[in-house]
Structures are given as structure tokens and as C-alpha cells.
């Protein structure tokens, strides 16, 4: 089915462990994004990617690593998880038609990560 999927949906890990959250989209959208959402902070941009092999830092990149070897995949890695990284993580991809002035950001269902 077409769409954007995240895995795992739920993850519990321990401080210091490496964790990778996967994101896969079937539309071949160029732009993809990773956000974290915490109470009181809303959605905060971690990293984004404009195309395969092009990634850029967002608002809160520290402690995270991303890669984009293929257009459809945009994994997010926490190299050494900390308790402050306990959060809900959303992946998203963007479609935008500058001629028609339309656009939409499609979100995955989210990955709830708990770091003990």
C-alpha cells in the first residue's frame, strides 16, 4: 500500500544503547523529515533531507544521526540513547506543487521510544 510507515511503533531501551527508527515512503517524495514531540514543546524538527544523500540539521539534532542512501528510506539513529530522548518520533514526507500552489506533509504513525 502507498504511504509512509515507521518501525518500530513502540520501543523500550536502556541508556547508552543504540536505537534506529526506520521510515519508509512509497511516493518517491524528495523531502523527508524527522520530528520529536514532547509535552510542552510541540513538534520539533530533528533532521531533514532534500533528496538521497542530502541531509541537514533541524532545530534539535544533537544525539541523532540520519542517512538517506535511497529516496524511500530515512532512518534515524540514536547512537547512545539518553533518558531525555524519550519521546514520540514522527517521520514525514513532503509533496509540493509550486505551479498549483498545493502541498501536503504526510506523517507516519509515530514511534514511541522510552529510554530507561
Partner 1 sequence: GQNIDQPTEMTATEGAIVQINCTYQTSGFNGLFWYQQHAGEAPTFLSYNVLDGLEEKGRFSSFLSRSKGYSYLLLKELQMKDSASYLCAVNSGNTPLVFGKGTRLSVIA
CA 59 to chain CA centroid, nearest Å? 13
Q: Are the C-beta atoms of residues 14 and 81 closer than 8 Å to each other?
A: yes
Report the site for partner 1 in 3-32 (rule: CB under 8 A).
31
Nearer to partner 1, 19 or 36 (CB): 36
Nearer to partner 1, 14 or 38 (CB): 38
Q: From CA 25, how far away is CA 76, in angstroms rounded?
A: 14
Q: From CA 67, how far away is CA 63, in angstroms rounded?
A: 14
Q: Minimum distance from CB of 21 to partner 1 (Å)?
A: 14
Q: From CA 35, how far away is CA 48, in angstroms rounded?
A: 9
Binding residue for partner 1, selected from 20, 27, 43, 71, defined by CB under 8 A = 43
For partner 1, the binding residues (CB under 8 A) are 31, 33, 35, 40-45, 48, 56, 58-59, 90, 92, 94, 96, 101-110
Amino acid at each position: 500500500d502507498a504511504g509512509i510507515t515507521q518501525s518500530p511503533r513502540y520501543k523500550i531501551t536502556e541508556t547508552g544503547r543504540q536505537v534506529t527508527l526506520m521510515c519508509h515512503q512509497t511516493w518517491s517524495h524528495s523531502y523527508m523529515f524527522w520530528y520529536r514531540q514532547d509535552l510542552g514543546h510541540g513538534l520539533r524538527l530533528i533532521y531533514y533531507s532534500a533528496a538521497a544523500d542530502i541531509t541537514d540539521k533541524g532545530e534539535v539534532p544533537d544525539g541523532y544521526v540520519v542517512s538517506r542512501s535511497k529516496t524511500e528510506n530515512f532512518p534515524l539513529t540514536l547512537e547512545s540513547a539518553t533518558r531525555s530522548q524519550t519521546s514520540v518520533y514522527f517521520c514525514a514526507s513532503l509533496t509540493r506543487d509550486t505551479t498549483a500552489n498545493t502541498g501536503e506533509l504526510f506523517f507516519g504513525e509515530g514511534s514511541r521510544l522510552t529510554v530507561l
